[in-house]
Amino acid sequence: MSKNDREILPQDVLPLHYDLSLEPDFKTFKFNGHLELSLDVVRDTNTVVLNALDMEFGSVSVIIDGKETPANSSNFDEEAQTVTIEFPITLSKSADPVLSIDFIGILNDKMAGFYRSSYKAPDGSKKWLATTQMEPTDARRAFPCFDEPAHKCTFSITLVTDPTLTALSNMDAASEVIKDGKKITTFSKSPLMSTYLVAFVVGDLKYVESDLFRIPVRVYTPPGMEERGHFSAELAAKTLAFFEKTFDMPFPLPKMDMVAIPDFSAGAMENWGLITYRVVDLLFDEKTDGAATKERVAEVVQHELAHQWFGNLVTMDWWEGLWLNEGFATWMSWFSCNNFYPDWKVWQNYVVDNLQSALSLDGLRSSHPIEVPVKKADEINQIFDAISYSKGSCVLRMISKFLGEDTFIKGIQIYLKRHKYGNTETADLWNALSEASGKDVSHIMDIWTKQVGFPVITVEEDGTKVTFRQNRFLNSGDVKPEEDRTLYPVFLGIRTKSSVMEDLTLDSREITLDLGSDIDFYKVNADQSGIFRTSYPPSRLAKLGANPQLLSVEDRAGLVADAGALASSGYQKTSGLLSLVSQWQDETEFVVWQEMLSRIALIRNAWIFESPDIADSIKILQRELTAPMAHKMGWSFSETDGHVESQLKALLFSVAGHAGDETIIASALDMFDKYSKGDKSAIHPNIKGAVFGIAVKELGAPAWDVLLETIMNPISTDEKNTAYRNLGRSNDPELIKKTIDLLFNDTIVKPQDIYLPMAGLRTHKEGIVALWKWTKNNWDEIVRLLPPGLSMLSSVVSVTTSGYATPAGLAEIEKFFKNKPTKGFDQGLAQSLESVRSKLSWVKRDTSDVKKWLKESGFYSKDSTRL
């Protein structure tokens, strides 16, 4: 597809400046708008085409040299989301026309455009606020506009509100007057920016402020929550200073506001100078929230702040370049987190987080290249996925390691300076990096961003000679020759006992090296810097498994991850993975444990619909693997515990407990009992999820009721979400039904949280089936609640279909969607079905291999008294 296939607005007239005034009404849930849009006429014309959706026009005219001419007509095209305005006069190139439109829009409840959000005031009453979410293509719901990232303009925004409410926008307030009982706030003129970054918020808001940066940095919340904003306000202030230094470029706006919004479809949105967040992704309190939540908040805040430069100051010219935004902000949030919290060792975590998300999605036929052609609006939401974020950031991590981090940052500075207030394509980034490094960066990187997929490197040994061969990797393991034509430039990164061969690139099909005495010990892809999997001969894998002390943390986690992925796709046997993890019981690092345990959980999951012997045996393995270390480390937490150490304790406690460790279960139930009786501090935040889950499984209805009570009166949003996630843990049909019934009960579960109660249900087969039945039986209502233009529908489809790994389930899902429009979620659905298919072949292929290993290792449930 070429650039010409993009469905974009005509280029006869271009926007220069928006003078926009809006007045939201919380009684009618509508807003009055007035727009004066200055235009540049490129070609003489009497029509103007711009984006507008779900709004009505009042008077429409054009003003030229002070003379106003009403329009003949305004025709809306709902499908194209445009309006064509026709004038009785020609707008000529020499004129400076101003388009003037009065309009009425809907303050909708769909978390898109200018929308309403509700919260419970401290006195218990329901209150409203109004906020925006424009990215990618919903600014057109808030005001008529040229809603494409390349049309950068300046904005002067005015909000007309009740005088008691706070009104915020991207810029600072230039004036505030009270007229006829209303407050009129006019904000300073913005710098050149894209429409998807425009924002305004109106509501009864309180704030806390940090003065650690040269401009005010505030966290706004609905009343009563503001004190929980200190952590983010302070981190944001320090991060802004750090980014100014790193990018060698000042933050150009006069203030930075960050707002916690009670109804929010994504996690956060980087609107320039006015970042909006889901409540849990902004507010944090050490006393009530756990270590994992702290890390998530830090990640989100730093991610959105990185966008202030990468995305807001310099913007992709079209959505095809979305990865430039999201991949970079993802990489940068890790870079920044590592700067502020070196003891969190986030780059180690990267290997089990972004790298694995990228590889697991990109191993599907239904994946897509990082630079994916997008034609029109409804295709855009679906590319906010692990390819743009995770694979995008992996590509940057790879090139930053190859060039060296300092050179990489120098290149970024060149790129930002050269393109500030402008738009770019991927090639512009490569050019800047080439300039900084003197290396031909596009030559190395083009394949990685333009081609789908990644390779598996197969290692073959012959004496001291080793052959490394690359082929496309698919999760289903059935690559056809025509799918295996791309040769990726792969940095092999061979680690030996003494060093790493940094410059060794494999850009042909295969290469043979004589490793000499290094044959004794070597590992491919040192620190998992490259985007590929490595398949060793079983004897080599066993050798590596026997020498974990020679491997870095990243290497160990990566070895397990690769062994897991190669097993589930059929390149290797699952017994190889089981042997590897079962001998690493003394592992001390959190991320390695995380990967070991998640790979074992994937096995248990894949066999969940089979006869119970395998899943039961895997449960014994999970318990025997984790219990000794869990007991050694214990499950009490103190101030002196390290951040990572706390998370390891919590992980081992959770897995051992859910796998049936009696002591842990007893202890969990004891904590839960105290908690139920009102002692809210009886369960440490780090293990609250595990305790809630164990309690619901063991005690059933009484525990479910306690969780519901927590949801109604939580001590923090983090606690509320933890309760949602564990409601569905029990496979008691009554409780499954009660949990399912909550999904549509929007006084208890807001649409933004609909996937949270699904989490517990996905842990057992009865829940998985119930989830699918719910989707099937309520499809029309689901689509009504979560329209296809938003990303939520796609996640609901993925979450409720991807677990149903039986041939009958697969057939049923396929049949159900066969004659339905799949607009907005076709990719998610295809990815889900493909994952189910590979799971089914994995089970078919390896059932006897797994059973044999379990028997030989003494974990087989039917032979065991340990169940």
Binding site for ligand BES (CB under 6 A): 135-136, 266-270, 299-300, 303-304, 307, 326, 329, 384, 389, 791
CA atoms within 13 A on the CB side of 520: 6
CA gap 2, 7 in Å, rounded: 11
- For position 329 contacting Zn ion by CB under 5 A, the verdict is yes
In the bound complex, what is the minimum distance in angstroms from residue 319's beta carbon to ligand BES? 11
Positive or negative, the Cα torsion across 596, 597, 600, 605? Answer: negative
Tokens of 671: 């904590």
Full DSSP string of 815-839: HHHHTS--TTTHHHHHHHHHHHHHH
Q: Which residues contact 677 (CB under 8 A, 6 or more apart)?
A: none
The region, left, alpha or beta by phi > 0 then psi within -120 to 50, assigned to residue 431 is: alpha
How deeply is 181 buried, as exposed, middle or buried, from its count of CB atoms within 10 A (0-12, 13-18, 19+)? exposed
Question: Tokens 């109604």 belong to which residue?
Answer: 712
Tokens of 428: 């512009």
Tokens of 375: 């034609």
CB closer to ligand BES, 412 vs 665: 412
| Known active-site residue 176 | no
Q: Which of 304, 554, 587, 834 is catalytic?
A: 304
Q: Which of 798, 806, 853 is nearest to 830 (CA)?
A: 798
Range 477-483 contact pairs with CB under 8 angstroms and sequence separation of 24 or more: 477/569, 477/570, 477/571, 477/838, 477/841, 478/570, 483/365, 483/453
Question: Tokens 């509100």 belong to which residue?
Answer: 161
CB closer to ligand BES, 136 vs 229: 136
CB closer to ligand BES, 299 vs 719: 299
Tell whether 307 is in a known binding site.
yes
CB closer to ligand BES, 301 vs 490: 301
CB closer to Zn ion, 329 vs 627: 329
- Residue 266 touches which member of Zn ion, ligand BES, none, C-beta under 5-8 Å by kind: ligand BES
The secondary structure of residue 383, as a DSSP letter, is: G
In the bound complex, what is the minimum distance in angstroms from residue 308's beta carbon to ligand BES? 11
* Amino acid in the structure at residue 613: D
CB closer to ligand BES, 324 vs 627: 324
The DSSP bridge pattern shows strands 422-424 and 166-169 to be: unpaired
CB closer to Zn ion, 310 vs 468: 310
Q: In 716-858, where do the E strands start and end? A: none
Helix, strand or coil for residue 751?
Answer: helix
CB closer to ligand BES, 278 vs 649: 278
CB closer to Zn ion, 275 vs 566: 275
Q: For 62, list phi and psi in degrees, rounded to 5.
A: -125, 140
* Amino acid in the structure at residue 701: A
Alpha helices by DSSP H, listed for 547-681, are 553-569, 574-582, 590-606, 613-633, 643-658, 662-676
Tell whether 643 is in a known binding site.
no
- Residue 300 touches which member of Zn ion, ligand BES, none, C-beta under 5-8 Å by kind: ligand BES
In the bound complex, what is the minimum distance in angstroms from residue 133's beta carbon to ligand BES? 7
Tell whether 326 is in a known binding site.
yes
CB closer to Zn ion, 323 vs 704: 323
The span of 327-335, 424-432, 724-732, 736-744 binding Zn ion (CB under 5 A) equals: 327-335
CA gap 421, 320 in Å, rounded: 19
Judge contact between 7 and 376, C-beta under 8 A: yes
Judge contact between 152 and 421, C-beta under 8 A: yes
Tokens of 787: 């329209």
How deeply is 587 buried, as exposed, middle or buried, from its count of CB atoms within 10 A (0-12, 13-18, 19+)? buried
Q: Which of 83, 114, 88 is nearest to 101 (CA)?
A: 83
Q: Which of 566, 581, 480, 485 is nearest to 524 (CA)?
A: 566
Helix, strand or coil for residue 424?
Answer: strand
Chain-centroid distance, C-alpha 750: 19
CA atoms within 13 A on the CB side of 2: 1
In the bound complex, what is the minimum distance in angstroms from residue 275's beta carbon to ligand BES? 9
CB closer to ligand BES, 267 vs 612: 267
What angle do the packed helices 765-777 and 733-742 form, to 10 degrees? 40
Residue 650 vs residues 540, 631, 644, 645, 689: alpha-carbon distances, Å? 33, 11, 10, 9, 9
Q: Which residues contact 168 (CB under 8 A, 6 or more apart)?
A: 199, 200, 201, 202, 205, 220, 257, 259, 274
Q: For 813, list phi and psi in degrees, rounded to 5.
A: -65, -45
DSSP bridge pairs for 491: 505
- For position 326 contacting Zn ion by CB under 5 A, the verdict is yes
The binding site for Zn ion (CB under 5 A) comprises: 326, 329
What residues are labeled active site?
304
Residues annotated as binding site?
303, 307, 326
Residues annotated as binding site for Zn(2+)?
303, 307, 326
